[in-house]
Amino acid sequence: MSHNEDFAATDTPKSAASKLFDLRLLIGGLFSLYGVLLTIYGFFTSPAEIAKAAGINMNLWLGLGMLILGIVFLVWTRVAPLQAPEPEPEGSRRPPAGH
């Protein structure tokens, strides 16, 4: 028996779950962080800046919107987590259509 055959017999395949990375978590975290920062900044917006925005406190409203969007992404990650697809048995693979 060669060294490669011994290694192949003891080598366990890595789980597909170890390769999963959920971008919803990253997006939700960043939107939440920026939403909190912008909302806090919105409380300290000067009246002159509000006047430039046609009387709307844009920092406050956009910060709240980003915070809500970030929370939605984070809840979505919790409610529907990624799951690794089940591996197909070796004999069940069908040839591609048209071949």
User: How far apart are alpha carbons 47 and 75 in whole angstroms?
Assistant: 35
Chain length of the chain:
99
* Separation of alpha carbons 86 and 99, rounded Å: 25
Question: What is the pLDDT at residue 10?
Answer: 53
6 pLDDT above the threshold of 60: no
Q: Does residue 63 register a pLDDT over 90?
A: yes
At 85 the pLDDT is 72
Q: What percentage of the chain has pLDDT greater than the value 70? A: 73
Per-residue pLDDT averaged across 69-90, rounded?
84
Positive or negative CA dihedral for 45, 49, 54, 58?
A: negative
pLDDT of residue 80: 83
Q: Per residue in 20-48, pLDDT tens?
A: 778 889 999 999 999 999 999 999 999 99
Q: Which residue has the tokens 């779950």?
A: 17
| Number of H-type helices and E-type strands within the chain | 4, 0
Q: Where are the domains of the chain?
A: 22-79
- Mean predicted confidence (pLDDT) in 80-86: 77
Rounded alpha-carbon distances, angstroms, from residue 68 to 40, 48, 94 = 14, 27, 45
